[in-house]
Structures are given as structure tokens and as C-alpha cells.
């Protein structure tokens, strides 16, 4: 069974503000380029490799996609590879953008 820690926008904003989380966006490259949460890194689900996940000491990885479906799949992949990754942004980028939060492009 997959261990899932659902984070909401308040968790995400707090974690970004204090530098305790790193957001891994698993949407496809064109989606990421069109707009993403500032500071997030792109690791598309279509070629997702748990070994390629960033490792930043002291930061918890939080997976994010458009609405929380692909991030769950990526959590499954990461955990079946033995990684200690259990958090995702439940609302995903759609929630972030809908609430008028800053969006990075490129």
C-alpha cells in the first residue's frame, strides 16, 4: 500500500516560505513551461525515474501535477523504488493558479 500525505495550499506555501520542501512537478514539459509553482523542478511522469529525483538535504520532496492524479502515480513509483517520498500537493497546479498565487513560466 502506498503511504500518502496530502498537502494543501497552506502547507505548500509554508514549506516554500521556510525552505523545508522542494516541489517536484510531474506534469509534461509543455505544461511546466506554460506555468509552474515558483522554485519547483520538472520531472515528467511520462519518463519518471525515481533515481532521478533531486536530493536536497533538509528538504522534503513534494510531488505535484495538475490536479493530484499523476502525483499519486509518481508517489507509487518512488515508493516501490524504496524512496521515502510520501507527500503530494492534493490540489496541484490548478489549485495554485486558481487561488491567484505567483506562477513562473519557462
Set 7, 26, 53, 65: catalytic member = 65
pLDDT band at 76 (very low <50, low <70, confident <90, very high): very high
CB burial class (10 A; 0-12, 13-18, 19+) of residue 52? exposed
For the record, the C-alpha cell of 57 comes out as 538535504
Tell me what the mean pLDDT of segment 42-49 comes to. 98
Q: Is 65 a catalytic residue?
A: yes
- What are residue 23's DSSP bridge partners? 62
> In this predicted structure, what is the pLDDT of residue 1?
82
> In this predicted structure, what is the pLDDT of residue 69?
96
Amino acid at each position: 500500500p502506498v503511504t500518502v500525505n496530502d498537502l494543501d495550499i497552506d502547507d505548500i506555501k509554508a514549506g516554500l516560505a521556510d525552505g523545508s520542501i522542494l516541489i517536484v512537478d510531474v506534469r509534461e514539459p509543455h505544461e511546466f513551461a506554460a506555468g509552474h509553482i515558483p522554485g519547483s523542478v520538472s520531472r515528467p511522469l511520462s519518463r519518471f525515474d525515481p533515481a532521478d529525483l533531486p536530493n536536497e538535504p533538509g528538504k522534503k520532496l513534494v510531488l505535484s501535477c495538475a490536479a493530484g492524479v499523476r502525483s499519486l502515480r509518481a508517489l507509487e513509483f518512488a515508493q516501490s523504488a524504496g524512496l521515502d517520498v510520501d507527500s503530494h500537493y492534493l490540489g496541484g497546479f490548478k489549485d495554485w493558479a486558481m487561488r491567484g498565487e505567483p506562477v513562473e513560466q519557462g
